[in-house]
């Protein structure tokens, strides 16, 4: 007899976006506290060592997880109303992950004891090896498929707070970079242990079923290629800096990379909840809702992306001084450059979610592989010419090229939703807000005050112009807020 399972509640897209924004906020606040402290204690060299080990471990983890980060979300979302079918899919995927992770971890361990660059930091690389297992069996894909964003949010915030406390207790001097690596792992992966324990309430492991593991091999091929290429592409700048440069250069650049990653996560607070809903719309042939969701997401991404480009160009110096201190002044130029990558990366993710929901994994994978090859070539050439500024420039160039390729593949979609996009309104608002804020950059006061004044002035001017021009996303959101306030008062 099958086990009685809990039926998790599926919330609205707005609720999921709110939960994802809370996660995003915690992902933003956590680095705002940890990076300034860790950068001053460990300095660029210690931070660089941790960043390099983390990037290498993530490469192996990408191979071990075989694209399940995306594939698992899609296939589980499609059968989430059928508990037995979902349980069968989950068990099949877990068996595949067990085999792949065992093989990958064995290769990773051999590399630690044979590659000189890894042997120099053996303890650090062994430590980050734990992330390979925690990522493979963290089952984030399962909870995303069920749209359990309230659980994901609470769990994520709690473990980040614990990691923050551990960092202040354990990381006290420049030699504590291995302990800092532990807090990074704890913040990012330790909560996955709860996922494993909780999954038994949602998945029936007791009922015997005939498993069809081979049926996943063919569709997973493109997910695996795309996921590995995409993940390696994101880290290729730091990995090549680690081999071509020094830990100090990696340390300077990792500050830029972390700020960029946090901002991409913030912009994608809406996009990250799209895939399960798009897959649902696709399976129920709801094309209009599908197009409307993508158009709204792209408008949001452009609003946030253009603002980030402008603010990084205007406020790079105070941001670097606050986040890293005077020892990281070399990060200012690459931080100004990298803003464009945030916009293109976020738009790429929106289009990638659409391709996956439309079963166009092959096109998604091909673009990712081309992007990885292009990124490796650009980074190799530009890092040797311009150092860390070259790494930042290469990531912008490659993200732009990948967006152009994805836009071509999705040209029919973009043609359908073109009239719903507000590109020129958003761009115009960003340019006017930048011009209004630029004179503020010449005011020399306390760096915190300077940053707050510049961000506030830009934000006010930007929002006023978006509202004045009736940009659809900003205007509709404001009208909904006004309506809710009026309803409560009434």
Cβ burial 126-151 (10 Å sphere, 16+ → b, else e): bbbbebbbbbbbbbbbbbbbbbbbbe
* d(C-alpha 489, C-alpha 485), whole Å: 6
When comparing pLDDT for 273 and 116, which is higher? 116
Tokens of residue 223, six digits: 């997910």
Residues constituting the chain: 490
pLDDT (average), residues 295-324: 91
The label of the residue with tokens 């200012």 reads 332
Query: From residue 362, how far is each of 222, 239, 276 by CA, in Å?
Result: 5, 27, 19
Query: From residue 195, how far is each of 148, 203, 266 by CA, in Å?
Result: 11, 12, 23
**Taking a C-beta distance cutoff of 8 angstroms, is the pair 410, 354 a contact?**
yes
**Taking a C-beta distance cutoff of 8 angstroms, is the pair 396, 260 a contact?**
no
**C-alpha 124: how far from its chain's center?**
23
pLDDT at 135: 87
User: What are the phi and psi torsion angles at 330 (to 5°)?
Assistant: -65, -10
pLDDT at 15: 62
* d(C-alpha 282, C-alpha 265), whole Å: 25
**pLDDT band per the 50, 70, 90 thresholds, residue 316:** very high
Query: From residue 217, how far is each of 69, 71, 141, 417, 471 by CA, in Å?
Result: 15, 11, 18, 34, 45
Query: From residue 367, how far is each of 110, 288, 405 by CA, in Å?
Result: 32, 26, 7
The proportion of the chain whose per-residue pLDDT surpasses 90, expressed as a percent, equals 31
How many C-beta atoms lie closer than 10 Å to residue 368's C-beta?
A: 25
**pLDDT band per the 50, 70, 90 thresholds, residue 88:** confident
pTM above 0.75? no
pLDDT at 403: 94
Q: Closest Cα partner for 255 from 333, 143, 340, 156? A: 333
* d(C-alpha 454, C-alpha 460), whole Å: 10
Q: Closest Cα partner for 241 from 28, 395, 27? A: 395
Query: From residue 342, how far is each of 134, 308, 348, 391 by CA, in Å?
Result: 27, 8, 10, 14
Query: From residue 178, how far is each of 34, 46, 125, 167, 185 by CA, in Å?
Result: 15, 9, 9, 11, 11
Give me the chain's average pLDDT, please. 83
The 10s digit of each residue's pLDDT in 365-402 is 888 889 889 988 998 999 888 889 999 999 999 999 99
Tokens of residue 302, six digits: 């452009």
* d(C-alpha 314, C-alpha 308), whole Å: 10
**pLDDT band per the 50, 70, 90 thresholds, residue 205:** confident
* d(C-alpha 178, C-alpha 442), whole Å: 40
Is residue 8 pLDDT above 80, yes or no? no
């Amino acid at each position: 007899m099958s086990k009685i399972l809990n039926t998790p509640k599926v919330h609205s897209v707005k609720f999921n976006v709110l939960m994802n924004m809370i996660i995003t906020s915690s992902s933003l606040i956590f680095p705002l506290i940890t990076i300034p402290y860790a950068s001053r204690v460990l300095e660029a060299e210690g931070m660089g060592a941790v960043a390099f080990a983390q990037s290498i471990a993530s490469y192996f983890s990408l191979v071990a997880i075989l694209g399940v980060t995306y594939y698992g979300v899609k296939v589980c979302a499609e059968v989430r109303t059928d508990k037995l079918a979902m349980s069968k899919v989950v068990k099949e995927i877990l068996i595949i992950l067990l085999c792949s992770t065992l093989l990958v971890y064995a290769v990773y361990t051999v590399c630690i004891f044979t590659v000189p660059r890894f042997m120099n930091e053996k303890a650090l690389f062994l430590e980050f090896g734990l992330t390979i297992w925690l990522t493979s069996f963290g089952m984030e894909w399962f909870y995303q498929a069920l749209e359990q964003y309230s659980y994901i949010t609470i769990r994520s915030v709690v473990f980040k707070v614990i990691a923050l406390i551990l960092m202040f207790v354990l990381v006290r001097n420049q030699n504590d970079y291995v302990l800092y690596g532990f807090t990074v792992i704890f913040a990012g992966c330790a909560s996955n242990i709860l996922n494993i324990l909780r999954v038994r309430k949602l998945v029936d492991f007791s009922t015997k079923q005939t498993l069809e593991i081979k049926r996943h091999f063919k569709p997973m091929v493109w997910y695996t290629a795309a996921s590995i290429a995409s993940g390696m592409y994101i880290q290729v700048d730091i990995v090549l800096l680690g081999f071509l440069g020094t830990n100090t250069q990696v340390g300077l650049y990792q500050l830029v990379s972390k700020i960029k990653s946090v901002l991409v996560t913030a912009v994608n607070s809406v996009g990250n909840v799209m895939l399960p809903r798009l897959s649902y719309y696709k399976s129920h042939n709801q094309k209009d809702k599908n197009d409307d969701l993508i158009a709204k997401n792209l408008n949001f991404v452009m609003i946030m992306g253009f603002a980030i480009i402008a603010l990084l160009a205007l406020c790079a110096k105070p941001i670097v001084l606050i986040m890293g201190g005077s020892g990281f002044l070399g990060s200012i130029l690459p931080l100004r450059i990298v803003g464009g990558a945030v916009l293109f990366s976020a738009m790429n993710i929106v289009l990638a979610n659409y391709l996956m929901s439309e079963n166009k994994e092959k096109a998604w994978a091909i673009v990712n592989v081309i992007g990885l090859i292009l990124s490796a070539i650009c980074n190799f050439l530009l890092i040797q010419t311009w150092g860390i500024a070259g790494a930042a420039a290469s990531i912008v160039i490659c993200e732009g090229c990948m967006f152009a390729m994805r836009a071509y593949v999705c040209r029919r979609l973009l043609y359908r939703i073109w009239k719903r996009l507000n590109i020129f309104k958003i761009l115009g608002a960003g340019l006017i807000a930048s011009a209004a804020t630029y004179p503020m950059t010449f005011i020399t006061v306390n760096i915190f005050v300077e940053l707050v004044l510049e961000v506030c002035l830009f934000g006010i001017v930007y929002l006023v112009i978006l509202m004045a021009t009736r940009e659809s996303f900003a205007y509709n959101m404001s009208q909904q807020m006004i309506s809710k306030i009026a309803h409560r008062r009434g």
